[in-house]
Amino acid sequence: MPTCIAPTCIALIVAGGSGQRFGAERPKQYLELAGKPVLRRTVEAFLSHPQVTGVRVVIDPTWREAYDAAVAGLGLPDPVAGGASRQDSVRNGLEALAAADGAPDLVLIHDAARPLIDAATIGAVIDALETTPGAIAAVPVADTLKRGSGNGGAGAIAGTVDREGLWRAQTPQGFRFPAIVEAHRAAAGLSLTDDAAVAERAGLAVALVPSKEDNFKVTTPDDLTRATRAIMSSLWDVRTGSGFDVHRFTDGDFVTLCGLRVPHDHGLEGHSDADVGLHALTDAILGALAAGDIGSHFPPTDPRWRGADSAKFLRHAADLVAERGGVIAHADVTIICERPKVGPHRAAMAERIAQILGIEVGRVSVKATTTEQLGFTGRREGIAAQAVATIRLPG
Ligand code: MG
């Protein structure tokens, strides 16, 4: 950078679409993509970029609840209400940024439905703005282009279009802030295809920045599958961890197992809520991360964990996986005891674990067995649990 002070740069994420083309029950930006909503992945890509100062999202207020759930915990400012068209939505977003204290030097306008945007492309668009008022991510057209003779349909080939110099425009589309605000105000009411077209109309130079094919827009269910595959193939460091735990019976009238309160003629002794199932699973995930054990993260000598809900321990292990950019692929818990009967609670236990981990219930298994009245569990002195977890981390 030629200047000492880095420019402020806000990413304006446009999530106002209703996704009619997708045909799902909710707009595509709120659908799950490899364990996280599409919008959250997009927002995180910009939030984690060192040259991006902040993120603001433009939404259809009808979907405010889905938005809040998707970006929970990210500390974003209030979303901006979108307009009737994408162009209106972007203008609303720009006006909100202009009205805020300290408008940014630069703005990156990005589609919420392009979750696979990479840090290098974001950086290249920002860097290009040092020398030009606009710069967009784009990929050169590689396929030969044909013009069909049919009216809208395919028909016979009427001609071959020279692809020399042709690019497919993506986002982010970056601009010096005051220039794009003026351009959008001047273009209000017109119907232009993207923000670069708005800038071009205002006479601003817009540079093409080579981007990646993976930065495609998730428009159809097939795109969601393609995006899932792309993410999963980047998470190729597959690891399995195991965990084991035992708690002794004591006086009481219920036990806590896999996050559920199960009536019984004894309780379980322990510093926390003595949930053997969640303790074993927490250790399995920590084991897969090679990140110590539950005792090293939550020492039993610490009074903070007296009577604690073990969901907190499991959530912590899941957060460590997320911090590493990974996902939990599967969890399998086996409860070992004569009594209480676990069978009637298995489905609810799996659901509770899936909820704590933030993964689909189809990725969680809870099983139960006895030891044929042998050993300490056979003598009904306590409950044991073992667990296996598989995680996928970025390679
Ligand atoms: Mg324990």
Determine the pLDDT at residue 1: 44
Q: How far is the CA of 316 from the centre of ligand 1 (A)?
A: 15
| CATH architecture entry for 9-233 | Alpha-Beta Complex (3.90)
Q: How far apart are CA 355 and CA 358, in angstroms?
A: 5
Residue 20: which pLDDT band, with cuts at 50, 70 and 90? low
Per-residue pLDDT tens digits for 213-226:
999 999 999 999 99
For residue 42, how far is its CA from the centre of ligand 1 (angstroms)?
38
Residue 8: what residue type? Answer: T
Task: Determine if residue 293 is labeled as part of a ligand binding site.
Answer: yes
- Find the 338 Cα to ligand 1 centroid distance in Å: 19
Q: If DSSP codes are grouped into helix, strand and coil, which group holds residue 81?
A: strand
| Cα 267 to averaged position of ligand 1 atoms, centre (Å) | 14
Specify whether the CB–CB gap between 281 and 388 falls below 8 A.
no
| Rounded distance from Cα 384 to ligand 1 centre (Å) | 9
Token representation of residue 125: 């668009």
Residue type at position 185: R
Rounded distance between C-alpha atoms, residue 364 and residue 211, angstroms: 38
Q: In the Cβ-directed half-sphere of 296, how many Cα atoms lie within 13 Å?
A: 8
Q: Where are the alpha helices (DSSP H) in the chain?
A: 38-47, 64-70, 86-99, 119-128, 177-187, 195-201, 221-234, 276-289, 294-297, 311-323, 346-357, 375-378
Ligand 1 center–CA 249 separation, angstroms: 12
What whole-number distance in Å separates Cα of residue 210 and Cα of residue 169? 10
- Two domains, one topology: 9-233 and 237-393: no
pTM score, two decimals? 0.81
For the cut 90, the answer to whether the pLDDT of residue 6 exceeds it is no
Q: Does the annotation list 295 as a binding residue? A: yes
Tell me the per-residue pLDDT of 311-342, one tens digit each, with 9 for 90 and over. 999 999 999 999 898 999 999 999 999 999 99
Q: Is 53 annotated as a binding residue?
A: no
Domain 237-393 in CATH 3.90.550.10? no
266 labelled ligand-binding = no
SS3 384: strand
CA of 279 to the centre of ligand 1 (A): 5
The torsion region of residue 79 among left (phi > 0), alpha (psi -120 to 50) and beta comes to beta
Helices and strands (DSSP H and E) totals, the chain: 12, 18
- Least confident residue range of 27-36, 196-205, 263-272: 27-36
| Mean pLDDT on 180-185 | 98
Segments making up each domain of the chain, as ranges: 9-233, 237-393
